[in-house]
Amino acid sequence: VLVSVLRIITKASLPQTPQGLQRSAQLYFIVSVLFMATCILCLNILHRLSIMKYYTDKKLSALPYHNSYIGDLKQINLTGTPMSTAFSTEQTNLKTEFWNTWKKIKWNAVGILMIYVVTLSIFPGYITDGLQSKILRNWYPILLITTYNVFDLVGKCLTAMYVPKATVKVVWACSGRLLFYPLFAACMHGPRFFRTEIPVVLLTSALGLTNGYLTSSLMILAPKCVPTKEAETVGIIMVLFLGIGLAAGSLAGWLWVI
């Protein structure tokens, strides 16, 4: 959203000349550096917050053997068990726990994968596929990108008001987003009405809204499917599938260009 707003400001205020584009690029870099510095500052402050301390302590209290780790090492030495054997057994247990965790949240992971494959295979690739507006002209792509980003943010914020209790419903909703393919295809090659600004803006808004809401819902629901001690593993799996979805969706997005 910040980038979209910044682009609107620079396009409206700076001339579309080499000098204007240079100033626009410099402004982007300045804002990016300030934003990164703010993120670094927040990261250093985050773990000092009382709510973070509470959940960190809660996670540690749920981890098996964390309070008796030193005692376990002493017990290993007393019984004469080789350290390599003990750690090998522990590694096997961790692998087993990982796959058990995966079985519990596999549909959440598949859902997050589908979300970003659908989203990025459509947006912003379809903007380069001959979308034109006699009214908005060269503002059209910029406003579409802004519309998507704003509604994506709105969708993420809506989870503060309501989150579905059943993961199955959210996953089915993710599957339902496949309907965006024929709808956007109609906007590209369908009747003249579908190729006007209103249907395209409405579909772009729906794409962003569902992307933000369903992503946040799955990220919230996934850790609730497992005990507290497995929540960190769930986070790793979800982020992994999110990254795979981003990569696969970006590659599929070339289909709108080719």
Pick the closest to residue 148 from 175, 134, 178, 127 (CA basis).
127
In the predicted structure, residue 172 carries a pLDDT above the cut 90 = yes
pLDDT at residue 73 tops 50:
no
pLDDT exceeds cutoff 60 at 72: no
Task: Give the CB-side neighbour count of residue 77, counting CA atoms within 13 A.
Answer: 6
| Average pLDDT, integer, range 42-52 | 84
Higher-confidence position of 189 and 202: 202
* Residue spans per domain, the chain: 104-258
Local structure of residue 123 (DSSP, 8 states)? T
pLDDT at 83 over 60: no
Least confident of 69-73, 152-156, 186-190: 69-73
| pLDDT tens digits for range 94-140 | 677 778 888 889 999 999 999 999 999 988 877 666 677 778 777 88
Q: Which residues make Cβ contacts (< 8 Å) with residue 178, sequence separation at least 6?
A: 118
Residue 129: the pLDDT is 63
Lowest-pLDDT range of 86-90, 139-143, 236-240: 86-90
Question: Could you give the angle at which helices 197-224 and 140-158 cross, rounded to 10 degrees?
Answer: 30
Closest-CA residue to 237 (of 212, 210, 251, 218): 218
Dihedrals phi, psi of 2, to nearest 5 degrees = -60, -45
Residue 196 φ/ψ region, left for φ over 0, alpha for ψ in the -120 to 50 degree band, beta for the rest: beta
The pTM score is 0.78
From 107, 247, 227, 128, select the one nearest 170 (Cα to Cα).
107
- Distance from the Cα of residue 143 to its chain's centroid: 22
Geometric angle at alpha carbon 256, from 255 and 258, rounded to 5°: 60
Q: 144-171 pLDDT, tens per residue?
A: 889 999 999 999 999 999 999 888 999 9
Tokens at 170, concatenated: 């959210």
The answer to whether 19 touches 13, Cβ cutoff 8 Å, is no
